[in-house]
Amino acid sequence: MTIQNKVLLLVDGSERTIQTVNYVKDFLPVYKDTQIVLFHVFSGIPEEYRELEQEPTCIAVVDQLKNRETQEKGKIRACLEQAKNILISGGFSDRSIQIKFHRLEKGVARDIIDEARKGYTAVVLRRRGMGALKNIILGSVAVKLLQALTFIPILIVGQAPPVKKILLAVDASPASMKAVEFVAALLGGHDGYEVCIFHAIPGLGAINFDLSEVCRPELPEGDISDTCLEAFKLKVARLFQDVKDKLMASGFESEKISDKVLSGVGSRSDAIVKVAEDGGYGTIVVGRRGLSKVDAFFMGRVGHEVVFGGKKFTVWVV
């Protein structure tokens, strides 16, 4: 699998943006053909105020807003230049980095989505921003991006140090295999990366039937039988071998690939976050949708819960 290395990196002018840029610098490999676009959506003076410029009673207010807009514009442009210099210090070439100072047109999320359709490999953003992006991940902008950017991986950068240890949560779904291929294509053949392939087998109590309470079947007491559990583990072992083969074919060293399976878990997303915490991983990778009907909604229940539950981690949603 070949991959075009064109990254859309969202910049909002905050200190957290600089941490996000540092993640890209410290974690992502530098390819000769890499392109990074530093993208900012600038809202400026609300249009309704601009329309009052000719009103004598509003001139002072509009002038004040214009001055504030000029100051904010200068601050954002300085942040964009700082971000560019950080990336250059990490080995990215000057000509591979483009700054896009974008005037708000349709809305923050919609303008980002429109830009993301222009041949990018991935979108990188911080969990929280400031100004127009202050609600990212916890608010409406995040929801819109996660719902709409189904055609491109999203890298949501957290506060965990950018150690090159990746927890790759998998199942047999097409989205999960796409996540594996993305990791292989982006990172394979580069030194320093470790991957743990992880799968959680839910306990009986965690199984969610898409039925009303009236017709919900009674689940048997206790855990899954040993015989049934062994059948599960055999399927997972075949899945793990397939994933490992893909990673090794891309250039990962076999000794840098490990695997882990947990059975009887109450919540797969909680298990993923706990393993990441215990293992010292900095990045979690999940497929956008899982195998179940519930996981086909929005971005997949497990992926959604990992994004919101693993707040300190960087989460890749592929």
Domain boundaries, the chain: 6-157, 165-317
* Token digits of residue 317: 């949603």
For residues 72 and 181, the model is more confident at: 181
Q: Is the pTM of this model over 0.85?
A: no
Q: Average pLDDT of 274-281?
A: 95
- What's the pLDDT tens digit per position in 131-165? 444 444 444 566 678 778 989 999 999 888 999 99
Predicted confidence at residue 250, as pLDDT, reads 96
Question: Does pLDDT of 294 surpass 70?
Answer: no
% of the chain with per-residue pLDDT over 70: 75
pLDDT at 292 over 70: no
What pLDDT score does 233 carry? 81
Give CATH for domain 6-157: 3.40.50.620
The rounded distance, in Å, linking the Cα atoms of 192 and 244 is 17
At 304 the three-state DSSP class reads: helix
Q: Give the residue from 165, 192, 195 showing the smallest Cα distance to 180.
A: 195
Residues 219-239: tens digit of each pLDDT: 444 456 667 677 778 899 999
* DSSP element (H, E) containing 104: none
Angle (nearest 5°) at CA 259 between 256 and 264: 160
Domains 6-157 and 165-317 share a fold: yes
Q: What pLDDT does 58 receive?
A: 64
pLDDT value, residue 70: 83
CA 75 to chain centre: 26
Helix axes 59-89, 15-27, angle to 10 degrees: 20
Say yes or no: domain 165-317 is CATH 3.40.50.620.
Answer: yes
Pairing of strands 314-317, 154-157: antiparallel
Q: List residues bridging with 263 in a β-sheet.
A: 201
Task: List the structure tokens of 290.
Answer: 């899982």
Quick count: other Cβ atoms within 10 Å of Cβ 33? 8
